[in-house]
């Protein structure tokens, strides 16, 4: 039923959009201004900082690829998008773009006459100031041009018909995003800009409706776009898993906090972006997420669970986990994070915990001397029953969550 509804809507979008876009077919928009763009060294340096804050490399640099040459895949329910080449190469990149062209792409989703998909988060970047987009453009014009052709998106029908985006933008593109926290301080205002505009946190952490638009009523409340679910980072969601402003600052600066380390899609966010933010911006980002009056972090609550069930899970834990994570779940520095109070263990939804156990986690290199050894995948060595028992032991013992994971939950994620 849901698929049929989505298909009917998409067809309607395409028909309506035709009337709006046929006149523009075959025509490429040019710059709105022919004025020469001469950046200053200070503007280029600021643009480098902002490019990191905006996490451009995560989508525009493929694994083992040249910086900003595109090709990084972004899986979604609609198909796979690929980051484009944003080096100053004149054939495949943005070497022929003006600063006005660049601003139009980030502000309006209009890449010189071609409508962008919101996989390029112009829905968030729309809030960027013109001075900041000019600075980012100035920096990108200084990186090495790379003659790498852009990889075509691999999208399901009818999402592959790009001109439907004209109507989508008319209906869903907004000038600002709703806030999940409350505040008025200078730090909160700066953090709002960092989170909602530059960091585009909502693009992953806010759920989407059937038509792919962000659900305004649930900002930053968590969303399932990829293999690892983007968690609830509202003030209540963070406090419920024990986060404080100080812990968030450590996490964004280093990648590791008492609640665990960045993994999944958050690892490149820290590795490529937030570790480079200055102390003031890290503080501001943390203030915005929790609000000017942050809720108190919640302790792990006691949980009643079946003793026999927990005993089975503890046996698995002692056999394959305790060597790294410790007998009492205390973890080992530079080896493995604690399980006691771990943010993933404390999530009500066991999805990310099960994915981590099934898939493992690659070696993580963090800021300075911090790192975490690779965690092995247990998909081929532990059964569905064993993994469900292990998950229940972790959740009930150190996460304050019900021991309600069953073997079918594990099987569904294999």
Binding residues for heme c, as ranges, are 56, 59-60, 201, 204-205, 321, 324-325
Numbered residues of the known binding site: 56, 59-60, 201, 204-205, 321, 324-325
Q: Which residue has the tokens 């484009």?
A: 84
Q: Is 191 left (phi over 0), alpha (psi -120 to 50) or beta?
A: alpha
Count the Cβ atoms, other than its own, within 10 Å of residue 70. Answer: 23
Cβ–Cβ under 8 Å, residues 139 and 133: no
Residue with tokens 């994915």: 355
Dihedral angle of Cα 395, 397, 379, 65, to the nearest 10 degrees: 70
Tell me the two tokens of residue 45: 């340096």
Is residue 102 within 8 A of residue 13, CB to CB? The reply is no
| DSSP H helices in 23-126 | 41-53, 56-60, 99-108, 122-125
Q: What angle do CA 238, 263, 188 make, to 5 degrees?
A: 35
* CB proximity list for 413: less than 8 A, separation 6 or greater: 351, 354, 355, 358
The sign of the CA dihedral 85, 91, 94, 95 is positive
Rg (CA), the chain: 23
What are the phi and psi torsion angles at 224 (to 5°)? -105, 100
Contact status, residue 396 vs residue 310, Cβ threshold 8 Å: yes
Q: Which residues of 328-345 are buried (b: 16+ CB within 10 A; e: fewer)?
A: ebebeeeebbbbbbbbbb
Burial class (CB in 10 A: 0-12, 13-18, 19+), 179: middle
DSSP 22: G
CB 13 within 8 Å of CB 164: yes
Separation between Cα atoms, residue 150 and residue 282, nearest integer Å: 34
Number of Cβ atoms within 10 Å of the Cβ of 8: 10
């Amino acid at each position: 039923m849901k698929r049929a509804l989505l298909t009917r809507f998409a067809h309607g979008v395409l028909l309506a959009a035709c009337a709006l876009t046929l006149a523009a077919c075959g025509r490429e928009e040019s710059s709105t201004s022919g004025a020469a763009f001469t950046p200053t060294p200070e503007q280029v340096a600021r643009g480098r900082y902002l490019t990191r804050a905006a996490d451009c490399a995560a989508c525009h640099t493929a694994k083992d690829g040249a910086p900003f040459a595109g090709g990084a895949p972004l899986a979604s329910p609609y198909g796979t998008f690929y980051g484009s080449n944003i080096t100053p190469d004149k054939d495949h990149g943005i070497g022929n773009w003006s600063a006005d062209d660049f601003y139009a792409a980030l502000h309006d989703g209009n890449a010189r006459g071609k409508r962008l998909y919101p996989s390029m988060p112009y829905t968030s970047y729309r809030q960027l100031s013109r001075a900041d987009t000019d600075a980012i453009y100035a920096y990108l014009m200084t990186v090495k041009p790379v003659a790498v052709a852009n990889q075509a998106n691999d999208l399901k029908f009818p999402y592959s018909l790009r001109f439907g985006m004209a109507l989508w933008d008319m209906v869903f593109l907004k000038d600002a995003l709703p806030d999940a926290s409350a505040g008025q301080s200078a730090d909160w205002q700066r953090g709002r800009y960092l989170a909602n505009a530059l960091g585009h946190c909502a693009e992953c952490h806010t759920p989407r409706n059937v038509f792919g638009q962000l659900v305004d009523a649930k900002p930053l409340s968590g969303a399932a776009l990829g293999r690892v679910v983007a968690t609830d980072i509202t003030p209540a969601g963070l406090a419920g898993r024990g986060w404080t402003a100080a812990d968030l600052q450590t996490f964004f600066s280093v990648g590791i906090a008492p609640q665990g380390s960045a993994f999944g899609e958050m690892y490149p966010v820290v590795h490529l972006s937030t570790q480079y933010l200055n102390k003031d911006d890290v503080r501001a980002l943390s203030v915005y997420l929790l609000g000017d009056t942050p809720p108190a972090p919640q302790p792990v609550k006691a949980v009643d669970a079946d003793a026999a069930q927990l005993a089975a899970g503890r046996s698995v834990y002692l056999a394959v986990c305790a060597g790294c994570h410790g007998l009492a779940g205390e973890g080992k520095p530079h080896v493995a994070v604690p399980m006691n109070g771990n943010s993933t263990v404390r999530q009500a939804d066991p999805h990310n915990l099960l994915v981590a156990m099934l898939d493992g986690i690659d070696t993580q290199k963090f800021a300075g001397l911090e790192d975490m050894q690779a965690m092995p995948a247990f998909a081929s060595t532990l059964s569905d029953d064993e993994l469900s028992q292990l998950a229940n032991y972790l959740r009930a013992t150190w996460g304050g969550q019900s021991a309600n994971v069953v073997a079918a939950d594990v099987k569904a994620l294999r």
